[in-house]
Structure 1
Amino acid sequence: MLLLLGAFIGLMILGVPVAVSLAVSSVAYMLIYGVAPDLIIAQRMIAGVESFPLLAVPFFILAGNLMNIAGVTGRIYTFAVSLVGWMRGGLAQVNIIGSVIFSGMSGTALADAAGIGTIEIKAMKDHGYPVEAAVGVTAASATLGPIIPPSLPFVIYGMMSNVSIGALFLAGILPGIVMTALMMLTVAIIAHRRGWGSDSPFSWMQLGEASLEILVVLAFPVAVYAMMWMGLSLNIAVLVALAVLVALDWYFDFSAVMALMTPVILIGGMTMGWFTPTEAAVAAVIWSLFLGLVRYRTMTLKTLAKASFETIETTASVLFIVTAASVFAWLLTVSQAAEMLSTAILSVTDNKWVFLILVNLLVLFIGCFLDTIAAITILVPILLPIVLKLGIDPLHFGLILTLNLMIGLLHPPLGMVLFVLSRVAKLSVERTTMAILPWLVPLFIALIAITFIPQITLWLPHTMGMTR
C-alpha cells in the first residue's frame, strides 16, 4: 500500500499528469510484487472502459461542443439578460442564470466556463465590473454544470456504485436550485455593498417575453399529458407537442425556448422510459444537430468537424484517466488497502454524520490535487462499503462527493476551472484564486445544507419512484 500510494503521490508532486501517475504507480506495484500476470493490466484497463453507461461521456461532451458552435450560448445569454438583467448586479445574475440553462446541455463545469463563461466575462468587463468579480461569479456558477442534469461525474459515479444514473440526474435538480438561489443571494448582497446597479433597463415587455418562453417550455409536458388523457399514445403526444413547439418557435423567433427544452427532453425522456441515460446523451446530440443545422442554421461542416475533433480529444483524456484509475482502484482492493482504510475510518467513528463531515474534509482536500473522474474512480470502491454499512443513501453520497470535487476544481494546484478562467480573463493564477475565494461561501453553505438535509437530494427521486 505504501509503495502504491507513495509512488502515485510522489509522481504527482513532480508534476506528472494524473493518468500517467496512476498508470506508472500501478505497473510498478504489479511488477515488484507480482500480484498478477502482466496481461492483467491490459485486461483491467479494458474492463474499466467496457461499460455501456460510459458511452454517455463522449455524447454529452459532443452535445456541449455542438451547442457552443451552434450559437446557442449567445441566445441563452440574451434570454438571461431579459429575465434578470434589470436587477442590481444584473450581469452577475445573468451569469448565474446562463450557467443554470447551459448546465442542462453540457454536463461539465469546464464546458460551462469555456463556453458561456467566455461571453459572460467579456460582457461584465465591458460594463465596468472588476475583472475579479467577473471571474469569481463565473467560477462559482460553473460548478452548477455537473450538479444540474445531465452530468458526466454522475455517469462515472453511477457506473462505479451501481446506482441508477437517471435517479442521480433527478437527485441533482433540487440541490442545483438551492445552489442557484444561494449564489443569486450572494450577488444581491455584494451588489448592495459595492453599489452595483442594473445593466439593462427594466422592461415589462422583455420580462414578459422571457416569462412567456418559460411558460411555453413548461406547457410542453402539460400538453403531452393532456393529449395522453384524451387517448393518444405517448409517442404520438410527444411528436405532436414537439411539432407545435417548433412551429411556435419559428413564428415568434424565441431567443432560448429550444435551448430550455434540452433538459426537459432529457429528464422527461428518461422519466417516461423513452430512453436510458446513455441514450439520452445521443438524444442531446441529435437535438443539438437539429438546432445548429435546421433551426438556427449556424453550423457548418467545418465547425462540425472542429467540434468532433475537440470531443475526441476530451473523451480520450477522460477515458485514459478512467482506465488508469480503474487499475489503481483494483490494486487498492487486491492489496487490501481499501479494506484497511475502511477499518481505520470505522475505528474513528460509526456515526454517519461524523463520517460525512470527515468525508467532506477528505474530498475537499483530494479535489485540490486529483482530477474529478480519477477521484471518483478511486474513492468510490473505498468509501461506498462504509456508506452502505452506515445506512447512508448512495444517491445522497453521490451528490456530496460530486459537489466537493466541483469545489476542488476552483483550487490550485489542479483546479481546471481555475486555469481555464485564468486564460480567458488573462489573469495570473494567483489573482484568479483570490478572485474566486469570496464566491466559495455560497458553495460551502450549499454543501453543508446538502450534507445534513438528505431530503434536498432524495425527495425528487423518491417522489418519481426512481430509487432502489
Structure 2
Amino acid sequence: MTLILVIVLFAGLSFVGMPLAFSLGIATTISVFFTMDVPLHIIVERMLLGVDSFLFLAVPLFIMAAGIMNRAGITTRIFSFARALVGQVPGALGHSNVLASIIFAGISGSAVADSASLGKVEIKAMEEQGYPKPFSAAVTCASSTIGPIFPPSIPMVIFGGIAGVSVGELFLGGVIPGLLIAVCLMVLIYVISVRENYPRDEKFSFGRAGRTFMSAFFPLMTPVLIVGGIVTGVFTPTEAAAFTVVYAFILGFFIYRELKLSMLPEIFMETIITSAVVMLIISVASAFSWVLTMEQLGNLLAQWASAVDNPLLFLVIINIFLLLLGMVMETTAVLIIMTPFFVPLAQTLGIDMVHFGVMMVLNLMIGLSTPPFGLGLFTTSKIADLSLEAVMKSILPFIPILLVALILVILFPTLTTWLPSLLM
C-alpha cells in the first residue's frame, strides 16, 4: 500500500509542476504519516544521513570552481583554442562547440554549467557566422552531455558515494565514452553541415593554434591535475575539488587578472543557491529511497532480476527504464533513488561497477537532452532566446547518435574499464 501511495503521490505532484524536491518530500511525508508505524522525525534523520558524506562536499566545491572560471575569461579562451584546432572543416564552429565541451568538462563536471557558460559564447559565434540558431542551440545542448561523462563529474561523485565505488576509477572510466560521444556528434555535425552547406572557419595554422593553446594552457591543465592527483593518491576527490577552487582563483585573479574581488560575493551566492538545490534533492531523495527500501522494493527487483539471468538483457531493460526516468526527473534524484536498488542486482549478475556507473550517468545525460522534459532543453532555450519547441525539434537528429554511443558502451564494457585497470 505504502509503495503504491508514495509512487502515485510523487508522480501526481510532479505532473502538476511541483518542484522535484518538494514532490519527493511531500510524497514521502504523507506516505510515512498515513501508512507507516514510525515517527515522523525518522524522515529528517534519513535526510541528514543522505548528505552526511565527506565525499559530497566535492559537489559545492566543483560548482564554485566553475563559477570562478566563468568570471575569469576561461570560456572564451577555451572556445578560441577549439576553433583554432578545427580550422576549415565543414561545420567548423559546430565541431569547435563539441571540442570546447570536452575541455570545459574537465573544469565544471556539469552539463547545465556547460550549457550556461559555454553556450552563450558558442551560440553567439555560430549565429554571427550564419548558422541557424536552432542548430547552434541543438549542438550546444547535445555536446553539454559530455560534461558529466568526462572527469571530473559531479554525478559520478554522487554514484561513487552511494555505491562505494572508487571515484577515481569512475573518472577514468568516463574518458573513452566521453570521447566516443564527441566523435559521434562530430560525424553527425559534418554530415548535416555538408548537406546544408554551413560555413567553414578560418584555415588552420600552427601559429594561431599555438597562440590560443598558450592562452588556454592553464585551464587545459585542470583535468590533468585533478585526475592525476586522484589516481596517484595525492588527494581525495573532495580535496581535488578544493584544489580546483584555489587553482581557479589563482588563474582568474593573479594570471589572467579578469577576476575581481567584487565578483566573489555573487559567485558565493550562486554557489550557495545551486548547492542548496542539489543537496536538498539529495536529502529528500534519500528519504524517498528509504521508504521504497522499507516497502521491499529491493526484494521485488531481486525476484525480477533472478528471472533475468542474462547480464546484457538486464542492462538493456535497466537502460530503457533510466532513459524514461531521465526525461522527466533530475539526474541527481534518479541516482540517489535508484542506485541502492540497481547496484546489488548488477553485482549479482557479475557486472563491473565502474562500467555500470559510467553507463548509468551516460544514460541520464542523454535524458537531459531528450524531449519533452529534458532539463538541458530548458537551459539551452533560455540561453539561445528560442522557444522550447524550436530547440526540441532541432535536437531530434542528435538523440539517435547519442543512443549509438550508449549502445556501444553497453555492448563493450572495456570502453569504461580499460583505462582504470591500466592506471589504477
Residues 337 and 449 from structure 1, CA distance in 2 versus in 1: closer, same or farther, beyond 3 angstroms?
A: same
**Residue in structure 2 matched with residue 441 of structure 1 by the alignment:** 400
RMSD (Å), alpha carbons:
1.2
* Correspondence 1:290-305 to 2 at 5 A: 290-305=250-265
8 Å contact kept, 2:252–2:259: yes
Q: What corresponds to 2:62 in structure 1?
A: 60
Shift of 1:86: 2.4
Q: CA separation in 1, counterparts of 2:168 and 2:207?
A: 38
Whole-angstrom distance in 1 between the partners of 2:199 and 2:384: 22
Aligned counterpart, 2:147: 145
8 Å contact from structure 2 (residues 86, 204) kept in 1: no
The structural deviation recorded for 1:446 is 0.6
Q: Which amino acid aligns with 2:324?
A: F
- Offset at 1:33? 2.1
**1:163-312 to 2 correspondences below 5 Å:** 163-209=165-211, 213=213, 254-312=214-272
**1:197 offset after TM fit, Å?**
3.4
Q: Is the 1:149–1:172 Cα contact (8 Å) retained in structure 2? A: yes
Cα deviation per residue 1:184-229 (whole Å; 9 max; x = unaligned)?
222222222222231213324224556xx4xxxxxxxxxxxxxxxx
Shift of 1:264: 0.7
1:135 to 134, 137, 157: 137
**Tell me, what secondary structure is at the counterpart of 1:368?**
helix
CA distance in 2 between partners of 1:133 and 1:412 (Å)? 15
Alignment CA distance shift 1:413-1:181 (3 Å): closer
Q: Which one has the largest radius of gyration?
A: 1
How many residue pairs get matched?
Answer: 422
Alignment of 1:374-453 (within 5 A): 374-453=333-412
Give the conservation status (yes or no) of the 8 Å contact 1:412–1:418. yes
Question: How many Å separate the matches in 2 of 1:201 and 1:177?
Answer: 24
Alignment match, 2:110: 108
User: How far apart are 1:372 and its partner, in Å?
Assistant: 0.3
Q: Among residues 33, 37, 41, which one is paired with 1:35 in the alignment? A: 37
* Structure 1: unaligned runs, 5 residues or longer: 214-253
- Tell me whether 1:339 sits opposite 2:299 in the alignment: yes
Output the CA distance in 2 between the equivalents of 1:337 and 1:28: 18
Query: Which residue in the other structure is 1:329 paired with?
Result: 289
Residue 51 (structure 1) aligns with: 53
Q: Is the 8 A contact 2:81 2:209 kept in 1?
A: no
Distance 1:186 1:361 in 2: 23
Q: Is the 8 A contact 1:78 1:255 kept in 2?
A: no
**C-alpha deviations, 1:141-193, integer Å up to 9, x for none?**
10000000000000110011010111111111111111111112222222222
User: What SS is found at the alignment partner of 1:86?
Assistant: coil
Contact 2:286 2:336 in 1 (8 A): yes
Contact kept in structure 2, 1:339 and 1:382, CA below 8 Å: no
TM-score (norm 2): 0.97
Cα distance in 2 for residues equivalent to 1:459 and 1:93: 27
Residues in 1 aligned to 2:169 and 2:179: alpha-carbon distance in whole angstroms: 17
Structure 2: state its 5+ residue gaps. none
Distance 2:373 2:274 in 1: 17
**Partners of 1:413 and 1:27 in 2: CA distance:** 29
Separation (CA, whole Å) in 1 of partners of 2:397 and 2:124: 20
Identity of aligned residues (%): 42
Distance between the aligned counterparts of 1:321 and 1:438, measured in 2? 31
Structure 1 distance, partners of 2:190, 2:374, is: 27
Alignment TM-score, normalising by the size of structure 1: 0.88
The aligned amino acid for 1:257 is F
